[in-house]
């Protein structure tokens, strides 16, 4: 007598593998969408940081120009004018060039403040009969990008000028 043992699948197990596979695919898809959202937010934040950095560098270039303008000042009454200026070229900045200008919150973005103290390092110098003193100038500059990022910088600059005092 031969017995055939044939395995009969249980009705409850039919399609279980398909259900598990579909659930795994849905779970993997949700993880992929979450990762995509994270990457998108990271790119957006990096873009904000790049624009802020470009505005800061533009303001820094404006301070360099302000320093050169103070160097050309001959008297304390001089008020050097900082003209608005764009940086780079269209090839470097295809979406618009960053620029700098004197801070609009100040009537004179570059102005004489006061003479430095004579006891300060290098604050008082005699050349022949002429007495020179470090003069302090304040520069306020604003850098900006075409998309609206803005940075403002303030610096104290120094220049040797005749003291104007008896000597």
Residue-wise pLDDT for 75-110, tens only, equals 888 889 999 999 888 888 888 899 999 999 999 999
The token pair that represents 78 in the structure block:
């001089």
* pLDDT value of position 152: 96
71 touches 159 (CB < 8 A): yes
Q: Can you tell me the distance from the alpha carbon of 112 to that of 75, in angstroms, rounded to the nearest whole number?
A: 9
How many helices (H) does the chain have, and how many strands (E)?
1, 6
* pLDDT value of position 167: 43
* pLDDT value of position 121: 55
Low-confidence ranges of the chain (pLDDT < 70): 1-14, 117-130, 164-167
Helix (H, G, I), strand (E, B) or coil at 54: helix
């Amino acid at each position: 007598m031969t017995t055939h043992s044939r395995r009969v699948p249980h009705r409850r197990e039919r399609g279980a593998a398909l259900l598990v596979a579909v659930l795994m695919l849905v779970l993997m898809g949700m993880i992929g969408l979450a990762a995509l959202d994270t990457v998108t937010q990271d790119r957006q934040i990096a873009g904000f940081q790049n624009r802020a950095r470009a505005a800061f560098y533009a303001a820094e270039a404006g301070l360099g120009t302000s320093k050169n303008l103070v160097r050309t000042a001959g008297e304390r009454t001089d008020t050097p004018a900082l003209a608005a200026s764009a940086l780079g070229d269209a090839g470097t900045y295809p979406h618009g060039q960053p620029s700098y200008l004197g801070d609009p919150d100040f009537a004179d973005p570059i102005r004489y403040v006061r003479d430095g103290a004579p006891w300060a390092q290098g604050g008082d110098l005699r050349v022949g009969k002429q007495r020179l003193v470090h003069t302090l100038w304040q520069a306020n500059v604003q850098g900006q990008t075409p998309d609206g990022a803005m940075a403002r910088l303030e610096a104290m600059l120094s220049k040797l000028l005749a003291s104007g005092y008896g000597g």
